[in-house]
Amino acid sequence: MSGTKATPVAKLYEVQDEIDAERGHLADLIFVREVLAAHGATAHELRECDAVIDGVRRRLEETTRPADDDLPNAA
C-alpha cells in the first residue's frame, strides 16, 4: 500500500515484532555461546561471541527505550 500512512496501532505491532525478533536472536546467541563454551571454544572466540551478544542487547535496549517526546511532562 504505497502512499498510505501506518496507523499508530500498526506501528506498535511493527515495533513489537522487531523487539520479539531481537529477543529471539539474543536467546539464540546465548545458547550458541553456551554450546561453544561447553565444547572448548577459546577465550578469544567466547569474547567475540560476548561482543555480538552485547551489541544485540544494546539494540534491544535502544528499541525499547521510549523517546523523550513519548514521556509525560512533569508538572
DSSP character string of the chain = -TTPPPPHHHHHHHHHHHHHHHHHHHHHHHHHHHHHHHTT--HHHHHHHHHHHHHHHHHHHHHHSPPGGGSPPP-
pTM of the model: 0.72
At 69 the pLDDT is: 58
Rounded Cα–Cα distance for residues 66 and 63 (Å): 8
Q: For the chain, report the end-to-end CA distance as a whole number of angstroms.
A: 41
pLDDT digits (tens, 9 = 90+) for 8-56: 778 878 888 989 999 999 999 999 999 999 999 999 999 999 999 999 9
At 51 the pLDDT is: 98
Of 13-17, 31-35, 63-67, 71-75, give the range with the top mean pLDDT.
Answer: 31-35
